Structure 1
């Protein structure tokens, strides 16, 4: 008796109506996999008939009427799947002359895969691995993993009740059948909690989505951190009228670096046939040219195969800028803007932009400057607040790894459920008796 009690505890069998039989383990080979088989019995005295509902007062209205054997998948021991061959009691109701089978919380009705396996599948789906690999590890089919994914992922979605005061929004490449193949996600900019994933990032769809939230919840949003994608400005204006737009500093620097790098390539191609040595210097030292000017090393002299004698990083940059006067001017403009942004000095940033109107700039650089003029208000807020899109970029990176582990996704709902499980499903949210999960955000909204 003690042995079977300990075995039940180790296997997670909490139903007191299940009794393990003291029969040696059996071994069976199925689909090239060795299975261990335990024997058990499920019996109890029912309180009422499941068919007609009559109450079993004298314990004679419903009698035992044989057993039915059901094989249940439990868990793995020593990398071998364990099966429970359970004899379920059959009952006969004398009032309606119908039979029904004893049930247990170990497994759902008409299922042979235990809830233990299903909870393990849900927890495995949090990690970066393919669903096929999860199925192989737990000796179940791919369809079983997909069913658990759909059942667990659906309750984790937002209930349109709660929005944080500080939002962080971005897009990611999802599946091909989605319009434009780009989807939208947003999270709490303070605690980095993922709120929801939206299928389409287009303006009309986003406005329609956010309008489902209560007016009080939308008006409580104070800031929205985003990149310089123009349709998002209309979404914020229509859905969050009291929110301040914050342009992510990383995207501002990225725009400036791309403009500088584009002009570097142009200058490099112009001198390609004139000076092969200078061409190689501009080609090989692109990272040095994009490095912040105030971070250049001007004290340590080192040898470089592209130069004769000892050189510092500052001396190399001076030589590269001497190859083209316009390159020097663009380099100075980009570094002045980056330095002002680094110091959160919007006045200096704005002054530098205004002074750039006096000079003729390359087309790509001028386009970048005009874009910065368009988003001046958001850039000013970026200098005032410390919020950024760093956390949501990390989410994007994990989504890419999830897609890569499964060699891409064809079903958007499966990818969305996988993302929500990865970020919103925790072990504390499991109910051992059933696979039902409640939304924390809905509770916060209440």
Structure 2
């Protein structure tokens, strides 16, 4: 095992002496006793370069490695002492920081395992149990990560969204920004209000902010102000998912209204309540594979089921036809036909709330047309938000937003986290 450690850390084998070939089991852990015998390059007092051996440290230094045969393993290092010939000061050999930092117990190999655990959707208690550590080791490592965001670079495509924040935040929702091309997180802020966002982005130099060409976001009205105040060269792109969501929500509200017009004990009420997901699909995506429906008490397919449901009410049939045509134009990226359909909706045929929800998209016409022409979307950011919700649920919530943000940054990319990792070692010379 010592040979593996020396090879992994690129250490010289001549400076290490092992008392045993394999770790020795002591109670519920393993120990590997070694001796480190290498004088320093120069004396810390007089900068002398001549030394004499002067015994060894009375107690070995205990460094925890990764687990061995399912149990924690410790490296017991007996350090040699040397006396300077010039000034007579005695000092111990300094262990290479590639193995373990001064004043710390966890080896860098163990810290690498901790970082890998932090990138996974797992709670601190479960991760610490797997590595035979306490949860304080994870929190100490999080404290060593940098919290500062780089203000010298912004991506060409900037995706914006929000998610549920922690209790110590001033606002209820937090803000997240991601590069739409490389899918790297730009920043995570504890407040999504426009004043805080403008204050943050104005920290970037104007030349950096001028590099942003597209802002991809949902239909949040407040984010539009960022373009005028922070990104004068940027164009707004409305995420395609939220456009389809607006269409399906309008139809679903009408479906509920039609469903409530029937008696709760009727078959029409029951069918419209149980099979509503089939109505939201595009007709070309409906399966013709038969399945047995207990509610209908017969074999049917998704296409036959939809044809039956839309005939329950003429109003539902008209709204379903509008939804199918609109989704067809949106699929084909025909923006002119899509908006011509919305402009031609008549409140004498369809309810006014349904028409208003569709005509709301007319306000976002330019950004939706741009979304149909360009390949950018908020899909990468929505996937990251899903991971954030999952890790928040596994961890049973976070007490501070500071640790929450660092965990998000670690999940996004390990390489970025390792490059920004700064170890706390104030005593290091």
Is 1:129 the counterpart of 2:122 in the alignment?
Answer: yes
- Who is 1:21 aligned against? 18
* TM-aligned CA deviation for residue 302 of structure 1: 7.6
Is 1:293 the counterpart of 2:277 in the alignment?
Answer: no
Name the stretch that deviates more: 4-13 or 322-331: 4-13
Paired residue secondary structure (2:344)? helix
The gaps in structure 1 that reach 5 residues or longer are 438-446
Is 1:40 the counterpart of 2:34 in the alignment?
Answer: yes
CA gap of 1:331–1:16, structure 2 versus 1, over 3 A, is same
CA distance in 2, matches of 1:303, 1:135: 48
Alignment of 1:64-83 (within 5 A): 64=54, 66-68=56-58, 69-83=60-74
CA gap of 1:63–1:207, structure 2 versus 1, over 3 A, is same
Is 1:55 the counterpart of 2:38 in the alignment?
Answer: no
CA distance in 2, matches of 1:8, 1:317: 65
- Who is 1:119 aligned against? 112
**Number of corresponding residues:** 420
Is 1:376 the counterpart of 2:353 in the alignment?
Answer: no
Is 1:344 the counterpart of 2:358 in the alignment?
Answer: no
CA distance in 2, matches of 1:261, 1:316: 17
* TM-aligned CA deviation for residue 329 of structure 1: 2.7
- Who is 2:247 aligned against? 256
Deviation digits for residues 102-125 of structure 1, max 9, x if unmatched? 221222112222222112211221
CA distance in 1, matches of 2:183, 2:252: 32
- Who is 2:427 aligned against? none
TM-score by length of 2: 0.87
- Who is 1:178 aligned against? 169
CA distance in 2, matches of 1:21, 1:112: 20
Q: Which has the higher contact order (CA 8 A, sep 6+)?
A: 1
Alignment of 1:424-435 (within 5 A): 424-426=413-415
Name the stretch that deviates more: 348-357 or 420-429: 420-429
* TM-aligned CA deviation for residue 46 of structure 1: 2.5
Paired residue secondary structure (2:66)? strand
Is 1:150 the counterpart of 2:140 in the alignment?
Answer: no
CA gap of 1:359–1:104, structure 2 versus 1, over 3 A, is farther
Alignment partner of 2:218 out of 220, 224, 227 = 227
What is the RMSD computed on CA atoms of the aligned residues? 3.1
Is 1:161 the counterpart of 2:152 in the alignment?
Answer: yes
* TM-aligned CA deviation for residue 196 of structure 1: 2.3
CA gap of 1:308–1:120, structure 2 versus 1, over 3 A, is closer
* TM-aligned CA deviation for residue 242 of structure 1: 1.2
Alignment of 1:321-360 (within 5 A): 321-356=310-345, 359=348
* TM-aligned CA deviation for residue 91 of structure 1: 4.3
Deviation digits for residues 27-48 of structure 1, max 9, x if unmatched? 322xxxx111121222322233
Name the stretch that deviates more: 12-21 or 109-118: 12-21
Paired residue secondary structure (2:67)? strand
Paired residue secondary structure (2:372)? helix
* TM-aligned CA deviation for residue 328 of structure 1: 2.5
Is 1:365 the counterpart of 2:354 in the alignment?
Answer: yes
Deviation digits for residues 181-207 of structure 1, max 9, x if unmatched? 321212221232222222211111111
* TM-aligned CA deviation for residue 64 of structure 1: 3.0
CA gap of 1:99–1:79, structure 2 versus 1, over 3 A, is same
CA gap of 1:17–1:194, structure 2 versus 1, over 3 A, is farther
- Who is 1:440 aligned against? none
CA distance in 2, matches of 1:179, 1:363: 38
CA gap of 1:142–1:385, structure 2 versus 1, over 3 A, is same
CA gap of 1:398–1:49, structure 2 versus 1, over 3 A, is same
CA distance in 1, matches of 2:4, 2:300: 73
CA distance in 2, matches of 1:115, 1:313: 57
CA gap of 1:234–1:17, structure 2 versus 1, over 3 A, is farther
Paired residue secondary structure (2:62)? strand
* TM-aligned CA deviation for residue 269 of structure 1: 0.9
- Who is 2:274 aligned against? 284
* TM-aligned CA deviation for residue 12 of structure 1: 4.6
- Who is 2:399 aligned against? 410
Paired residue secondary structure (2:72)? strand
TM-score by length of 1: 0.84
Is 1:208 the counterpart of 2:199 in the alignment?
Answer: yes
CA distance in 2, matches of 1:172, 1:10: 44
Is 1:107 the counterpart of 2:100 in the alignment?
Answer: yes
CA gap of 1:99–1:321, structure 2 versus 1, over 3 A, is same
CA gap of 1:23–1:180, structure 2 versus 1, over 3 A, is same
Paired residue secondary structure (1:75)? coil
Paired residue secondary structure (1:251)? helix
- Who is 1:444 aligned against? none
* TM-aligned CA deviation for residue 395 of structure 1: 0.8
Name the stretch that deviates more: 183-192 or 257-266: 183-192
Paired residue secondary structure (1:180)? coil
* TM-aligned CA deviation for residue 372 of structure 1: 1.0
The gaps in structure 2 that reach 5 residues or longer are 425-429
